[in-house]
Amino acid sequence: MLAAAGNLRRQKPSPLRQHIYVMLIGLLASTGLRVSEALNLRLCDLLSGDVLHICQTKFNKSRLVPMHPSVAAALRDYLAIRERFAGTDDHVFLSVGGKPMGVGTLYAAFHVILRKAGVGQGRTRRPRIHDLRHTFATRVLEQCSARREDVARDFIALSTYLGHAHIRYTYWYLQATPELMSDIAGMVENLIGEKLS
């Protein structure tokens, strides 16, 4: 998908088009951000130490999201290119005319990228950009420690990282990892119960 995004046709009003979508899709896939969170990122939200400040999003929560060093390096490279072409708006991701990118613009480009990459073609249910968040969450759960007691703590950390208001909103990601589902759910309940006692 990233290669397909990098091969998008250049548009005269937006010389950043290819760079924007490579970075945006890569950021969504590697951090599990919500689409709205990524589109609302401003330059002041990029903190030192390779951390994103996600401000007052769903459930009125703010949080800090650390990035992998490779993602942070790619973001710095993108910002150097963005600086050459962007106007005065401080949103990280801009559309034609230097305006903040709208979700409809992203969705349209995402479907073009899927087609170019040959992803999901011929399926009755087309992949959605939000599926990148789901994939991120399930991959994190699959990489949890083999020690079941550590898994509960990892699960709570994932819930916080994703910005969920309550741990129950993270439970449904366990559907993709059924072998861990009952163990994690039980241990998280026990761990939360211990903290409340």
- Please give the positions annotated as active site: 34, 58, 130, 133, 164, 173
Show the tokens assigned to 193: 């119960």
Q: Is 137 exposed, middle or buried (0-12, 13-18, 19+ CB in 10 A)?
A: buried
Show the tokens assigned to 85: 């072409």
Q: Please give the Cα distance from 73 to 108 (Å, whole number).
A: 27
Q: Please give the Cα distance from 37 to 35 (Å, whole number).
A: 5
Q: Please give the Cα distance from 72 to 197 (Å, whole number).
A: 40
Residue with tokens 């994932």: 158
Please, are residues 143 and 150 in contact by the beta-carbon 8 Å criterion? no
Which residues, listed in sequence order, are joined to residue 66 by a DSSP beta bridge?
51
Q: Please give the Cα distance from 126 to 63 (Å, whole number).
A: 31
Show the tokens assigned to 190: 């026990």
